[in-house]
Amino acid sequence: MDALFTLQGCLILSAALFSIGVYGVLARRNLIIVLMSVELMLNGVNLALVAFARHAATLPADTPAAAGAPASGQVLVLMSMAVAAAEVAVGLSLLIALFRHRQTVDSTSISLLEG
Partner 1 sequence: MAAADVIFLVISIIAVGAAALAVTRKNPIYSALFMMVTLLVVAAVFQMLSSPFLAVMQVLLYAGAIMVLFTFVIMLLSLRPEEMGETAPLPQRIFAAVVALGVFALLAFPAIEPGVPAAAASLAPPAAEAVRFPPAAGTGDGATVEFGATAYFGHTIFGRFVLPFELVSILVLAAVVAVMVLAKRDLSKRDVADDGSDRDPPPLSVSAAHAGSIASLATSTQPTSHGPGA
Interactions with partner 1, residue window 69-98 (CB under 8 A): 69-72, 74-75, 77-79, 81-90, 92-97
Contact by Cβ (8 Å): 68, 57: no
Contact by Cβ (8 Å): 43, 24: no
Q: By C-beta, is 73 or 114 nearer to partner 1? A: 73
Residue 113 contacts partner 1 per CB under 8 A: no
Instruction: Convert 73-106 to b/e letters by CB count within 10 Å (16 or more is b).
Output: beeebeebeeebeeeeeebeeeeeeeeeeeeebe
- Of residues 10-39, which lie at the interface with partner 1 (CB under 8 A)? 10-24, 26-33, 35-37, 39
Among 101, 111, 113, 114, the residue binding partner 1 under the rule CB under 8 A is 101
Residue 67 contacts partner 1 per CB under 8 A: no
Q: By C-beta, is 21 or 115 nearer to partner 1? A: 21
Contact by Cβ (8 Å): 37, 28: yes
